[in-house]
Amino acid sequence: MDMPSYASFKSNLNAILRGASHSGGAGLVPVPATIERPEGARRYLVATPPEATPGGRALVVLLHGAGASADQVLGLAFPPSPLAVWLEIAAREQLVVIAPDAGRNGWTDCFASDQRAAKQDDVALIDALITEAIVGRQVDPQRVYVMGVSRGGWMAYAVATAIPQRLAAFSVVLAGMPPSGRTEAPAAPLSALIFGCTADPLIYYHGGKPWYAFGFAEPVRSIADTVHCWRELAGLPDAPTVEQLPVSDPRGNTSVTRYLWGQASDGVQVGLYRIDGAGHAEPSRLKRYPRLVNWLTGLQNADLETAEAAWDFFRAKRATGADRR
């Protein structure tokens, strides 16, 4: 086998089995920590800028998906997570990033029963982590943001519904909200950014539940209905601004359209990235899931960097009436 053929073979094999993890710049290094909760010690990873930050730092809390972990969502475990790009953003923008572990039983998310939440209250966990970061890591209480992917997205909905006063904005990737009446409905307006993929085989873009999910998934609202819920709470107009993103790979068979309700970047806004043709995978140019994973979960778009798009949305937003608990 000649060298060019071998190099091509090795590259294809890596793409199939390992994916790709590239960097756009230096990133902060996360370190493990624990916090005591009624259910016992809870583990999380935290990345903190080494130098003091005049005026305080923003905090981004990242919530991993089912079967994943804090290590995976921050790029320390397989497969490469697009949300690990937050470590590079944190180094560049002087942010604190916290990624808690759901633990063996998974998140007590927006679908969790009261009985289960009483044994492991993950909204209270995130509330406590926010407080700890404000007290000990120079975090500005007005600049707290939460982002979750897949089942971590369901956890983000639970946080945004239960403690909206602690957040300036939140983002969910690859997850619709529970159907109306299934769980507590949000009651306070909050800036929300939703990423949805139309060919997602695990959490349907158009709502409902895959027949093959059995007990491993819940029926959800469509992404459009989810966006409407937060837009209605905020009293935003029906007509969004619409932007078609440039296609990076014409052979990729996916495309991205951004919808944005609300004109002021420092006011309440609701945004939607609709990724047509893509599956259960966060869009990313830098962090590419293995093709072996794509065969199971669908295509991964490369027209935007999910974490960077979320930071662009979060950047100017501040919580009103944020407390310093």
- Report domain extents, the chain: 23-314
- Under 8 Å between Cβ of 151 and 175: yes
Q: Which two tokens stand for residue 282?
A: 């966060």
Which pLDDT value is given to residue 19? Answer: 72
* Helices 122-136, 151-162: crossing angle, 10 deg rounding: 70
- The dihedral of CA 305, 160, 176, 72: what is its sign? positive
The pTM of the full predicted model, rounded to 2 decimals, is 0.93
- Closest by CA to 109, choosing from 158, 60, 180, 44, is 158
Residue 6 clears pLDDT 50, i.e. is over it: no
The vertex-117 CA angle with 111 and 119, nearest 5°, equals 145
Residue 213 clears pLDDT 90, i.e. is over it: no
Could you tell me how many residues make up the chain?
325
Strands 241-244, 139-149: pairing is unpaired
CATH code assigned to 23-314: 3.40.50.1820
- Closest by CA to 64, choosing from 53, 75, 56, 72, is 72
Band the pLDDT of 17: cuts 50, 70, 90: low
Residue 10 clears pLDDT 50, i.e. is over it: no
| pLDDT tens-place string over residues 114-159 | 899 999 999 999 999 999 999 999 999 999 999 999 999 999 999 9
Residue 8 clears pLDDT 60, i.e. is over it: no
- What average pLDDT does range 55-76 have in this prediction? 96
* Helices 86-93, 306-314: crossing angle, 10 deg rounding: 40
Which pLDDT value is given to residue 1? Answer: 43
Q: Which two tokens stand for residue 21?
A: 């993890």
- What average pLDDT does range 259-272 have in this prediction? 97
- Closest by CA to 126, choosing from 176, 161, 95, 94, is 161
Q: How far apart are the first and last CA of the chain?
A: 64
User: Helix, strand, coil proportions of the chain in percent (round to 5)?
Assistant: 30, 25, 45
Strands 31-37, 255-261: pairing is unpaired
Strands 169-173, 191-197: pairing is parallel
Strands 96-100, 40-47: pairing is antiparallel
The vertex-307 CA angle with 59 and 319, nearest 5°, equals 35
Which pLDDT value is given to residue 125? Answer: 98
Residue 108 clears pLDDT 90, i.e. is over it: yes
- State the average pLDDT for the chain: 92
- Under 8 Å between Cβ of 74 and 45: yes
Out of 106-120, 187-201, 207-221, 293-307, least confident range: 207-221
Band the pLDDT of 5: cuts 50, 70, 90: low
Q: CA-to-CA distance for 85 and 259, rounded, in angstroms?
A: 23
Element counts in the chain: helices (H) and strands (E): 9, 12
Exposure string over 109-135, b if 16+ CB within 10 A, otherwise e: bbbbeeeebeebbbbbbbbbbbbbbbe
